[in-house]
Each structure stands twice: as C-alpha cells, then as structure tokens.
Amino acid sequence: MANKNPFEIRADVLQLAKDYMDQQTQLNLKYWEKMVSVGKATIEDAEKAYKPYSMEELMKKAQEMYSFVSTKE
C-alpha cells in the first residue's frame, strides 16, 4: 500500500462518495421501475427517483466518510 498525502486521501474519499451516490441513484431508479411494473408508482416516487443529487449532498456524504478516516479512535 502506497503512502498517500492528505490531498490524495480526500480525493479518494470524494470518489468513494460519488460512487456511493451514483449507486444510490441507480437503486432509486430500479425501485421506481419496480413500482411502475406492479402498478404502485406515485408522483413522489418518480420525483425522488429522477432527482439528481446536489453537490452539497455529495460533499456531506464525503465529509461523513472522511470523518471515519480522520478520527484517531
């Protein structure tokens, strides 16, 4: 394992957060498709499934993940 500087660690954590948020978006779309197929889809479900995550949400998730790295416990 290579030693990484703090910038590289933060970039890796940001990428992990982006991957997580992208996967969550895909799961929301699959959920919506499943609800449509069983006839129980609502407008609220559609809005949630198709709403992209914001930069603020991405940064919040990255900070949440980075807090694990930065704690000394």
**pTM of the predicted model, to two decimals?**
0.77
CB atoms near residue 56 (< 10 Å): 8
Instruction: With beta carbons less than 8 A apart as the criterion, state whether 32 and 41 touch.
Output: yes
Question: pLDDT for 29-67, tens place per residue?
Answer: 888 888 888 888 788 878 877 888 999 999 999 999 888
For the chain, the domains span: 16-66
Question: pLDDT for 38-48, tens place per residue?
Answer: 888 788 878 87
